[in-house]
Amino acid sequence: MKNIAFICLGNICRSPLAEGLARAAAVAAGLDVRFDSAGTGNWHVGRPPDPRAVAVAARHGVDIARLRARQVRPEDFQRFDLLLCADRDNLGALARLRPRDAVAEVGLLLDWAGVEAGGEVPDPYYGDDEEFLAVFDLLSRAARALIERIAEDSAATGRR
Ligand code: 4NP
């Protein structure tokens, strides 16, 4: 797993937070994995993350201010090994977009990270700062668990 993209609806709250957190966790673990994020919707394309997401990340030493929203494209199914969705709506949207020659594995982030089977990252967009903090904490756990899983998988592959 070398190229991973996080997917949510707007690409301004959950997935840019996941991207920033996963990148930080990978650097801390010395893992060479590239991360990106995208939204299934196009309303916020070109915009920076939601100021509430930028603020909660900054308070915890993670800088996501320079990220810019983009929409998922068919090429993402070739460019990435893994597309990790925040919720089931995102998963459904990707199933509709998936080209025949797709190579990317697609799954729910919390599932894949082993944080919560079948779990979804709640959309904080219409919530308050407290909800952004709860989402940050959840994504922080997910990012660390994801990096641990990738590190274990690559160690196991190395031993084979
Ligand atoms: P995200 O949050 O999917 O976590 O980026 C949202 C951002 C914007 C909207 C919905 C969710 N929106 O409806 O504009």
Beta strand 105-108 with 34-39 is: unpaired
Least confident of 15-24, 41-50, 149-158: 149-158
Q: What proportion of the chain, given as a percentage, has pLDDT over 70?
A: 99
Active site residue ranges: 8, 14, 123
Q: How confident is the model at residue 157 (pLDDT cuts 50, 70, 90)?
A: confident
For residue range 105-138, what is the model confidence (pLDDT) as tens digits?
A: 999 999 999 999 889 999 999 999 999 999 999 9
Ligand 1 centroid – CA 14 distance (Å): 8
8 forms beta bridges with 39
Q: Burial of 98 by CB count in 10 Å (0-12 exposed, 13-18 middle, 19+ buried)?
A: middle
> The whole model's pTM is what?
0.97
Ligand 1 centroid – CA 155 distance (Å): 36
